[in-house]
A and B are shown apart, each in its own frame.
Chain A
Amino acid sequence: MATEAVRLDGVTRRFGAMVALHEAWLKVRHGEFLTLLGPSGCGKTTLLNLIAGFLAADGGEIFIEGALVTATPVWQRDIGMVFQNYALFPHMDVARNVAYGLATRGVNKAEAAQRVAEALALVKLTGMAGRRPRELSGGQQQRVALARALVIRPKVLLLDEPFSALDRNLRGAMQVELKEIQQRLGITTIFVTHDQGEALSMSDRVAVMSAGRIHQVGTPEEVYRRPADRFVAGFVGDVNRLPARLLGREGDTAQVAAGACHFTVPAAPLAGLAPGAAVELFLRPEQLAPAPAGGPALLEGVVVARVYQGDRMELHLEAAGVPGRVLLRLPGHAPGVGEHGSHLAVQAQPQPDAMAFPPTT
C-alpha cells in the first residue's frame, strides 16, 4: 500500500488564544507503533484527540488509510481507543463492554459472540465475560479496554497514557504484553505518554513534542543518540550539559573543546556560530568515566552522592563552572571509585554520541 495509515498535513488546533498544536506534519506507517512523547501540556493528547475526532482541527487535514477524515465524526472514523481511566461502561458486564463496538456495526449475534471470545482470549481474560468492570483489578480493566478497542478491527489503535494508573511492576508486564499483541496483529498504533522510558522501550518510532510542536520523529535510538535539538536531548534520557567552545567546522561535523578534551559533534545545530563561540556540550551519563591519573580530563569535581542502582552506580559530582550536577553512570557497583567527598577527574568514553547546541540566551 502506498498511503500511510495516518497522515497529518499541517494540523493546527487552538484553545482561545493558546495554540495547543502548531502545524503538525506527521506520517504514521502501516503496522507501526508510534509514540507521542512530551511533558504534560505539550499537545500530545490534543493531537490524539484530533486523530480520534474528539476535537476539530482549526487548520490542516487529517487522513486515515488515505481517506480525508478532517470533517468525519468520531463514530465513522473506525478507530479503537483506550482511555487513561479505561472508560469501561459500568452498567455492562465485560462481554457486553467488548461487544459494544460490534453491536454498533450491526455484527450478528453469533459472530459477535465468537469475536468477543477471541478478543478476551487475546488479552487473557477468558472466563471473565460475566464480570462487572468494578469487580476487576486495574490491570484486568486495562485488558478489557484493550479487547474492546481491538475487537472492532480498527484502522488505527489510539492509546492515551494507558499505563499511568498501574503500579510499576504491572506496568512493565502490560507494556510487554501490549507490544506482543500489537506485533501479532500488526495494527497501526499511536501511543501517548510522558514517560520517556516507556516510549523508548515500546516504540518503532517516537515523536517528541513540546509546546504544541513536534520537535523530532525518529526511532528510539535516533531520538536518544542524535537528538534534533536541545529540548529532545534534555527530555529523552538524562544528559549532562557542559560549557564548551567551538573550534571549527568541517562539512557535517564540528569540533568542540571542553576541559582538556576535544569532541566531534554534528554541525547542523551550530550553524551561524563563529569559531571560538561558547557552546553547550551534551553528554549522556553512561558516556562519562573516571579519567586515568595524569590523562586529559574533561572536568574535575567533588563526589556529592553515590547512588546504588543494582546493575549500575550513579555518581553525582559538583564541578566548578558547570551549572547543576554532573551525573556519571558506571556499570557494576564500581568498587573504590568516587568515594563520597573525594575529588574525581572525569573523561568521556571513546567516540561518545556527543551533541553541542548554542547556549541559551
Chain B
Amino acid sequence: MRYGLGLRALRLMLRLLVLTILGFVLLPSVVVIIAAFSDRSILAFPPTGFSWRWFARALAYEDFQSGFRNGVIVMAWASSIALVIGSGVAIALHRYSFTGSRLLQAMLLAPLVVPHFTLGLGCLILAAQLGVARTMGLVVATHVVLVLPFVLRSVYVSLRNLDGRLEQAAASLGAPPGRVLWTVTLPLLAPGLAGGWLFAAILSFNEFTASLFVTAQRTQTLPVAMYNYVREYADPTMAALAAIYIAVTALLLLVANRFLGLGRVLAIDHGH
C-alpha cells in the first residue's frame, strides 16, 4: 500500500513538474498574445480592454508588408539554393571518402557554432570589399550560408537511413547512376528533402542577427523591420504581429507535419 501511495505521489509531482516547465516555456508567448489585444497604445500587461486595432495596424504598416515580402523571397531562394547544394554535398560526403571530406563536413556544420552576428558581419565586410551593394542577392547569400548546415544534416541523415541495396538493385536491373538517382534515391529521400527545406525556410524567415548587418532599408526582412519599429514606437502593434507570427508558423508546421507524415507512410518503409 505504501509503495502504491509513494508511486502515486511521485507521479503527481512529475505531472506538476511537466506543467511548470510547459508554463515556463509558453508564458512569454502567452503574455505577448494577450498584450496584442490591448485597447491602449502602450505595450502593457495585463491589458485593460479588448481591441483588434493593433492587428489592423500591423497588417497595414508598410514596412511590415515589404518586410514580409522580402522575407518570403529570401526564404524561398535561400532554402531552395541550400537544398540543392546541401543535397549534392550530402550525397558526395555519403558516397565518397575523398581527401578533405571530413574537413568539408566540419566546415559545413560550422555555422552551428559560429554566432550569427559574426556571419552577418563577415558577409558585410566581404560585400564591401568586393564592392557588392546591399541587395537581395547579398541577403540570400548570407541566408544560404546560415541554413546550409541544417539542410545538409537533414539530407545526410536520410541518406544514412536509405538502404544502399535498393540502389544496387536498380543498377542490377540496368539503370545507370543518373537513372538510379532520379527513380530510386531522390524519391526515397523526398521526406528528408522536404523536411530540410522547411526547417531552412523557418530559420531563414525568423533570422534577425545576421540579417541586421546585410539588409538595407529596401531589403529589410520582417524581423529587421520589427526591430526598427520597436526602436521608434512602443505600442502593441509588435505584440499583434508576434501573435500573427506564432499562429502562422504553428499552422505551417501542422500542415507540414501532416504532409510529411503522410509522405513517410506512402514512400518510406525500408524498416529492416
Q: Are A89 and B175 in contact (CB under 8 A)?
A: no
Given A85-B163, A87-B165, A101–B173 Cβ distance below 8 Å?
yes
CB-contact partner of A83 in B168, B267, B270, under 8 A? B168
Given A75-B175, A75-B176, A105-B174, A89–B169 Cβ distance below 8 Å?
yes
A329 adjacent to chain B (CB < 8 Å): no
Who on chain A is nearest to B179 by CB? A104
Q: Are B172 and A52 in contact (CB under 8 A)?
A: yes
- B residues less than 8 Å from A132 (CB atoms): 269
- How distant is A144 from chain B, measured CB to nearest CB, in Å? 11
B interface residue numbers (CB < 8 A to A):
163, 165-166, 168-176, 179, 183-184, 187-188, 266-270, 272
A227 adjacent to chain B (CB < 8 Å): no
Given A83-B168, A87-B168, A89-B166, A75–B174 Cβ distance below 8 Å?
yes
Given A52-B172, A75-B174, A148-B173, A91–B165 Cβ distance below 8 Å?
no
A97 to B168, alpha carbons, bound, how many Å? 14
- B residues less than 8 Å from A52 (CB atoms): 172
- How distant is B243 from chain A, measured CB to nearest CB, in Å? 40
- A residues less than 8 Å from B173 (CB atoms): 75, 100-101, 104, 148-149, 152
Can you list 21 contacts pairing A with B, beta carbon distance less than 8 Å?
A53-B171, A74-B172, A75-B175, A76-B174, A77-B172, A81-B169, A81-B172, A85-B163, A87-B163, A87-B165, A87-B168, A89-B166, A89-B170, A90-B188, A90-B269, A91-B188, A100-B175, A101-B174, A104-B173, A104-B174, A105-B174
CB-contact partner of B266 in A54, A79, A91, A104, under 8 A? A91
Q: Are B165 and A85 in contact (CB under 8 A)?
A: yes
CB-contact partner of A90 in B175, B179, B183, B268, under 8 A? B268
A132 to B270, alpha carbons, bound, how many Å? 12
> Which of A54, A76, A79, A91: most chain B Cβ within 10 A?
A91
- B residues less than 8 Å from A104 (CB atoms): 173-175, 179
- How distant is A153 from chain B, measured CB to nearest CB, in Å? 12
- Contact mask A39-71 → B, CB, 8 Å, 1/0? 000000000000011100000000000000000
- B residues less than 8 Å from A73 (CB atoms): 171, 176
